Structure 1
Amino acid sequence: MTQLPSRPHTSLGGSSLVGRTVVLIGGGSGIGLRVAHHAVAAGAHVVLGGRTEDRLARAADELGGGDAVRWRTVDVTDEESLAALFAEVDRVDHLFTTAATYRVGPLRELDARDAESPFTSKFWGQYHAVRHAAPKLSGDASVVLMAGAAGARPPGPAPAYAACNAAIEGLGRGLAVELAPVRVNVVSPGTVDGHLWAGRPAADRDAAFAQYERDTVLHRTGTEDEIAHAVLFLFTNGYTTGSTLYPDGGYTFR
């Protein structure tokens, strides 16, 4: 019988988050906060970043406070702000950035600044977050970038936004090569019934949800916890890198 080469033992459950440092920029609300809840429950230490001090303080209280949770205000469009955040962190084991502010719309309607805003905030914000985190990344760290299903299947006339999400998927593949053995992956969710849509007019929300439910295989919107579970998988699966995961109910291949 041929002897197979031995390999390091890993559990089927992936690597543990116990004692690990998870930096969540945008962790004060929405998907980032749900990731924080799961990470803390799994024994991680979380560092929350965001622009709103009150929101971060409330999130920290919601997570139980104590030594497991720290927070600092940060603006992903301000490199000095990002540098200050990571200067206070000794080690980064996992990084996930959801913080972004942008406008979407048709080519003929958006002015140049609004059209560029997804790239300014969502693409370059994540790029610079990874760049400033890089010196602190542990040898087996992971980075999860936030894109969106619109990069693979644009839902309507918003070409710059679709292009930004596609570019983030490409950035993830490029960073996976450059930063190895640090793992870099991308999560590209579909429409999620959560914090982002809760702040929009009800008529717009209802119309968007109805259209998405018609267009997707599972005929429903997603939840923030479902996206958070995908992020935790990418944090802990030690053999996944350079991949894009679509927790979108089957929207992108319909």
Structure 2
Amino acid sequence: MTSYLSDSAFADRTVVVIGGGTGIGLAVARHVVGAGGSVVLGGRTHQTLRDAADGLGARARWATVDTTDDASVAAFFADVDVVHGLFTTAASYVTGPIADLSIADAATAFDTKFWGQYRVVKTALSSLADDASVVLMSGAAGARPAGPAPAYSAANSAVEGLARGLAVELAPIRVNAVAPGTVDGNLWQQRDPAVRRQAFDSYSAATLLGRVSTEDEIATAVLHLFLNTTTTGTTVFPDGGYTLR
């Protein structure tokens, strides 16, 4: 993976990536380490985190964490002295039409994607450096729903509102959101190839650029928000122009 960053862009800085064992989170971690920084990876699966940290080298460490559990998140941050960058991708939820989903299933998008990130930021407050940057994970569906999944769309919009609210409250700490669309990467690689191809073709046809994004492209958007010292309270859409069609 080629990085556009200098080899010292993250020197003497520590970035926490929850959901950092795979996918976009791991891509962010690779760039940070490659640019001289240290990373703390969080997630729920020991082996995945261990393998990721081993691949990243001496400047990476890991601990398990469940972002839906107060005690688990508190225990995770108890071993983190200072945080210069914070990014959380970990979430697991059920999507579908309002007519089909139970309230409990519909609430999973908020329970994990919204409240999970809220809980992580709240718990990390005492560890955030004065010049820290927090990047929340939203999604293009918040601005342009892709199908009948209203609770999921609403959760993404709520995350973007959270970023704006936190930017006001926590300044000069910067808080932004990144809102990708369909991404060719770890999550989609686990699905049936025919389903994946159909989804990619449909999404590509609805974008200005005519293709899905890569995990590394989303990661570089996150890195920009980590490093750009005048950007706060905004949402970046690395979605190929999906929200503009």
| TM above 0.5 | yes
Match for residue 23 of structure 2?
30
Which residues of 2 match residues 17-166 of structure 1 at below 5 A?
17-64=10-57, 66=58, 68-166=59-157
Equivalents in 2 of 1:137, 1:199: separation in Å? Answer: 35
Instruction: Please report how far the alpha carbon of residue 206 of structure 1 lies from its aligned counterpart in structure 2 after TM superposition.
Output: 1.6
- Report the secondary structure of 2:243's partner residue: coil
Matches of 2:228 and 2:162 in 1, distance apart?
20
How far does residue 201 in structure 1 lie from its aligned partner after superposition?
2.2
Whole-angstrom distance in 2 between the partners of 1:97 and 1:200: 23
Q: Report the Cα distance in structure 2 between the residues aligned to 1:63 and 1:202, rounded to whole angstroms.
A: 29
Given candidates 236, 239, 248, the residue that maps to 2:227 is 236
State yes or no: 1:171 paired with 2:155: no
Q: Aligned partners of 1:40 and 1:157: how far apart in 2?
A: 39
Identity rate, percent: 62
Give the drift of 1:236.
Answer: 0.2
For 1:218 and 1:120, the matched residues in 2 are separated by 33
TM-score (normalizing by structure 1): 0.92
**Pairs aligned (count):** 239
In structure 2, C-alpha distance between the alignment counterparts of 1:134 and 1:205, rounded to whole Å: 39
Q: For residue 33 of structure 1, report the CA deviation from its aligned partner.
A: 0.2
Q: In 2, distance between residues paired with 1:202 and 1:156?
A: 20
Matches within 5 A, 1:181-192: 181-192=172-183
Using the alignment, how far apart are the partners of 2:77 and 2:49 within structure 1?
Answer: 17
- Unpaired runs of at least 5, structure 2: 1-5
Deviation string 1:137-182 (CA, Å, 9 cap, x unpaired) is 0000010000000000000000000000011000000000000000
Matched residue of 2:218: which SS?
Answer: helix
> SS at the partner of 2:109?
helix
In structure 2, C-alpha distance between the alignment counterparts of 1:43 and 1:156, rounded to whole Å: 41
Cα offset for 1:204? 2.2
**1:181 aligns to what SS in structure 2?**
coil
1:77-99: CA deviations, max 9, x gaps? 01101001111011010000000
Distance 1:27 1:122 in 2: 15
Distance 2:114 2:51 in 1: 27
In 2: Cα distance, 1:37 partner to 1:122 partner = 23
Letter in 2 for 1:46: V
SS at match of 1:99: coil
Could you give the per-residue CA deviations for residues 6-62 of structure 1, whole angstroms, max 9, x where no partner exists? xxxxxxx9x931110100000000000000000000011100000000000010111
User: Tell me, what secondary structure is at the counterpart of 2:184?
Assistant: coil
Quote the RMSD (CA, aligned, Å): 1.1
Deviation at 1:196, TM superposition (A): 1.2
Give the Cα–Cα distance (whole angstroms) in 1 for the partners of residues 55 and 38 of structure 2. Answer: 14
Q: When the two structures are superposed, what TM-score results if normalisation uses the length of structure 2?
A: 0.96
> Residue type of the partner of 1:213?
S
